[in-house]
Structure 1
Amino acid sequence: MLDGNYNRYVELTTRLRSVEAFCDFLAHGGTIRVAASESAPFTDVTLELLQRQRREADALRQTRRHLFPEHADEDFQQTLYGSH
């Protein structure tokens, strides 16, 4: 994989991991509440946000499969302190 392509692959994989971790947090009891204004009551938006994040994860997976079909289902494994 060329350096530019490798960097894009790492970027997509890192973003995918982040979104998946957030989905996991929400799916296992995490909650998100927002208020429309400073004095408004908080509204639970966890389910809507979880659905949106799952769609984003699916889109990232599809993009990675399209751009890197030979590595699409692999996870990027970076050695800690692998480059200086």
Structure 2
Amino acid sequence: MCNRYEDRYVELTTQLRSIEAFCDFLANGGTVRVADGDGAAFKEVTASVLARQRHHADSIRKTRRQLFPDRADEQFQPLYTSH
């Protein structure tokens, strides 16, 4: 049971870090363009993707705070480090 508890914390924290990194990329000039179909013109959707990802990150933070109130704001330490 304890291992599953820890695994869930790691899962949420890793997902949060990934989303935050993507948001940082977008906020610092990254762009997202999509086409409605093959051969269609691409349109810029960066602002809506960024807003949606920030909302998703907030949702994960809220879940993490509810499940792990004593650890919700601590930084996740990687299980492995490169040498």
TM class by shorter-chain length?
A: over 0.9
Alignment map for 1:51-70 (pairs within 5 Å) = 51-70=51-70
Give the CA deviation at 1:78: 2.1
- Cα distance in 1 between the residues matched to 2:79 and 2:8: 18
Q: How many residues align?
A: 81
Residue identity (%): 58
Distance 1:33 1:61 in 2: 27
Instruction: Tell me what 1:7 maps to.
Output: 7
Instruction: Specify every segment of 5 or more residues in structure 1 that has no aligned partner in the other structure, as ranges.
Output: none
Q: TM-score, normalised by structure 1?
A: 0.91
In structure 1, give the amino acid aligned to 2:74.
Answer: E
Structure 1 CA distance, aligned partners of 2:40 and 2:78? 45
Cα distance between partner residues in 1 of 2:44 and 2:56: 20
Deviations 1:20-69 (A, max 9, x none): 00000000000010000112110000000000000000000000000000
Alignment root-mean-square deviation, CA: 1.4
Uncovered stretches (5+) of structure 2, i.e. residues with no partner: none
The Cα shift of 1:79 comes to 4.2
Instruction: Identify the residue that residue 30 of structure 1 maps to in structure 2.
Output: 30
- Rounded to whole Å, the distance in 2 between the matches of 1:18 and 1:57 is 9
